Amino acid sequence: MDVYQEAVGYLTSQHVPAAVQTETEVMEEDVFQEEADSCPLSPLHPQSVDFPDTPTLSSPEEMLERRLTVLKCIVESEEVYLRELEALLMPMKALRASAGTSKPVLSSQQVQTVFYQVPEISDMHQSFFSGLKERLNAHCRSEPGPGEDGQMSYTGFELVVGDLFLKMVNQLGLYGGFIGNYEEAVQVVRKCTQLDPRFRTLAQSMMSNIGSDKTRTKYTFEALLYKPLDRVTKTTLVLLDLLKTTPETHQDFALLQEALRLSRSFLSGVNESSQSKRGVTLSHGMRRKLMRDGFVVDASEGERHMRHLFLYTDLLLCTRFKHATRGKQDQYRFGWFLPLAGLKLRWVSDQHRPPDAQLRLHTIRTKMHLLRQQLRQHAQGSKGLAFAARSRKKLEQVELMLLTHSPVYTLELHSPSGKSHTLLLSSLYELEEWREAIHKLTTDNIETVPPDLLTLTSACVKLRMTQQPPLHSTNAGTTTISAPSPVRPRPLSSDSHPVSETQYTDLEGEMCLCGTLSVAVHSACGLQQPASVYVCVEVDGYEFYDKQATTHSSIHSLNPHWDQELEFQVDAAQELRLLCVSQADGKNDTVLGKTSVKLESKTLNERWKRQTLHLGQVDVTVSLKFSPHPLEPPSATAPLHPVFCIPIEIVTQQEGVMVPHVVRCCAEEVERRGLAEVGIYRISGSSSDINTLKSVFNSNLRDAVTRLRRAEVNVVSGVLKLYFRELPEPLIPADKFQSLARSLEIQDVDSRLVSLFSVLHSCPAPNRNTFLFVLHHLQRVSERQDTNKMTLINLATIFGPSLLRLPVAELGHIGSSMDISVEVVLQVQVVFCYLQCNNLPEAQTSLPHDTDSEDETTHM
């Protein structure tokens, strides 16, 4: 039997003309052909980002009614999908039979490759469709009629379908084999389409009856083969849509929650393994693939607009998402595109917002916090469902507004043609991911092919891997609207510690943190060359407060140290991100490495936990601790922690150190470029520049250190002297003055030093360690006295009056036996005696961060 004639017979039976075509007459088919709009409210259509157009649920009855509508649309969509699978499987039997003939269309191996797992997938969905349709029909028959009494809410609660979805999701493994085989199957179809006119006629004219009116739709073989891949990637959206319309008290809620967890777990690797989903066929056999997509803020036109950005192998495409009206499909509108060939990137950080922008952000954050609290208070019970739905929708709108106005990181794109565009992102981590992906493609040998912008933009609905902006209130990983559930402390044992945590459960049942997260950044190692480096730390969750903080930049070193404590107020936090950034004068900052750490509530408590994180070639040592508590409403201005004119014990406590950062940074900067400066500490810098740096240190440590790196070195030394001069109490407490004076009277040198260090040991820890730190620094300055002309006695003369003073009461005492000249002599002699010591104790610059266990190393 001629298999070609059999194929023609099959087409004739389907009322399709089977004219023989030559290869040149075969036109390219769009593999990603638009599906028929079988269901106007299909949950398979991704969530809209145009929130005002989304209907708001106003009552439990409407919520359950919406759930019923969603279920009916799922049934209709399943029916369409089953007909498409039926059309795909229709020629399988004939092709399999022909494989054993002398003129096979496909070999047995090719038939197995092309239809691999498709029959099993069809059986699985047939079982799911039959069960779901049967229950919906039974439910509709039991609903009260128009003139009968009945409660929709009770009827809706009686409809249970969660077990069907859970059973279906548990069989998603069938798609795993299909996805792994998909690329090879497509290659077989394309190869046979080109080489065999019999298969080409078959592959380009496959029919399926779609819809209740049995409308016949024409597909290519490749388009039908793509359907299962397209279908499985939308499973999470279907479950999320259904879960949102299912009350928490409904029997289905827990089952759907588990199904959603399993679905997201399975689909987490689909985007990586399914490269074919990201491809658009171009001319000349080329393939343009989607490498990355996501939502960014486009500021190219002077105003901020949320846009969906698509990175293909040869170009960047910026689009505007257009939410579908009733009965139509979602669409993307073209914004702009830039070829990657020759594209230049530059990123900058603008942390300084104008007052009006700061006020706008405060208003948005305050509104978000209020809505979040209202959702928690009205979460339980059926009476709160309608209010929760309205508040949730408002929260989505406000969070989208915050996402648009809060970004501070700018990514500038410059094309060789002269076109430039500016993108804004809230996260440096996300910006670096975009930069790495674009840079990798621009360094490859790119052949620029003019795109069909209309076709490319239309394909975005099919190709996108990101369905909606990263709104914490709508994503699958966000917290549910439920009251906070404090976790009971673990029982004490010999190897455990008391833990008190405030946690919230997300849609997948995972715990999130609410309270204060502290991150102490200690040091880094592994740099290839000396650099001035800072560490950027980011947390996720609701952005009631700033979710990002950075350390000050270190001095040029191979092993930078910070010992700086950063503090975050977090709500629903689950992830911590760290980036190590090199800062160079006059050049763009360079990210040396990055990593992310999952915040697990069971391992975080109010004791520091130290660990070393691998950020590529750089290792960063940090300590973490978490203190649970309800969050206060966001304040209009960020809390300021001035350091000048503040007691040193307060400064060190708020910084979490033993030696204030202003002292360490100034001393390190003088040692970096001032040891050869003649008259360092003796020659004064510009008083206006010193006062400017003083003001910046009182408001922003990172900016102050950045300016310190560029300041004239005598200005830096002047800032350090000014800090000690303006301390409310001298570094060596005034009540120690007489004891030190008596120690100087001891003739034996060793006994005198013992007495001096005994007095120093009795000083508070911050005072003692800061004094020792300064002494070591001044000794290093004096080691270069041949160049800088600053001996120990010169340095003692300069610093003595600032570090040591008489008590105020004694200064004002009438008839005091000590005049000012004697006091100065004693101040200088005390400091000089300490400086002459060859074995000064080392200063402890940071607080000890105790940990439950030894230092852990996290490989990322």
CATH number at residue 586: 2.60.40.150
CATH number at residue 801: 1.10.555.10
Residue 499 lies in a domain: no
Position 810 pLDDT exceeds 60: no
CA angle, 152 as apex, 146 and 158 as ends, to 5°?
125
pLDDT of residue 37: 38
CATH number at residue 259: 1.20.900.10
pLDDT of residue 208: 59
Residue 29 lies in a domain: no
What total of structural domains would you count in the chain?
A: 4
* Best-predicted range by mean pLDDT (265-274, 398-407, 436-445, 456-465): 398-407
Give yes or no: residues 622 and 665 share one domain: no
Give yes or no: residues 531 and 616 share one domain: yes
**Separation CA 56–CA 461 (nearest Å):** 25
Task: Quote the tokens at residue 418.
Answer: 């002269």
CATH number at residue 433: 2.30.29.30
Give yes or no: residues 574 and 682 share one domain: no
The 10s digit of each residue's pLDDT in 87-105 is 888 888 888 888 888 888 8
Give yes or no: residues 569 and 428 share one domain: no
Domain edge (last residue) among 248, 277, 306: 277
Give yes or no: residues 294 and 420 share one domain: yes
DSSP string for 627-691: EE-PPPPPPSSPPP---TTS-HHHHHHHHTBSS-HHHHHHHHHHHHHTTTSTTTTTS---HHHHH
CB atoms within 10 A of CB 695: 13
725 lies in which domain range?
A: 648-808+818-836
The 10s digit of each residue's pLDDT in 266-303 is 776 555 444 444 554 444 445 778 899 999 999 987 78
Give yes or no: residues 694 and 721 share one domain: yes
Residue 151 lies in a domain: no
DSSP string for 224-281: HHHHHHHHHTTHHHHHHHHHHTS-TTSTHHHHHHHHHHHHHHHHTTHHHH-GGGGEEE
Residue 389 lies in a domain: no
Give yes or no: residues 121 and 264 share one domain: yes
Q: Give Cα separations from 838 to 60, 367, 784, 835, 842 (angstroms).
A: 79, 61, 16, 8, 12
Between 763 and 450, whose confidence is greater? Answer: 763
Residue 444 lies in a domain: yes
Give yes or no: residues 262 and 291 share one domain: no
Give yes or no: residues 436 and 569 share one domain: no
* Best-predicted range by mean pLDDT (122-126, 281-285, 378-382, 493-497): 122-126
pLDDT of residue 817: 54
Residue 384 lies in a domain: no
Residue 24 lies in a domain: no
Domain edge (last residue) among 581, 597, 628: 628
Give yes or no: residues 700 and 680 share one domain: yes
**Separation CA 153–CA 212 (nearest Å):** 29
Give yes or no: residues 412 and 517 share one domain: no
Domain edge (last residue) among 628, 659, 687: 628
Task: Quote the tokens at residue 648.
Answer: 């040193």
Backbone angles phi, psi at 6, to 5 degrees: -65, -40
Point out the least confidently predicted range of 131-140, 374-383, 704-713.
374-383
Residue 787 lies in a domain: yes
**Separation CA 72–CA 135 (nearest Å):** 11
Between 584 and 69, whose confidence is greater? Answer: 69
Give yes or no: residues 730 and 696 share one domain: yes
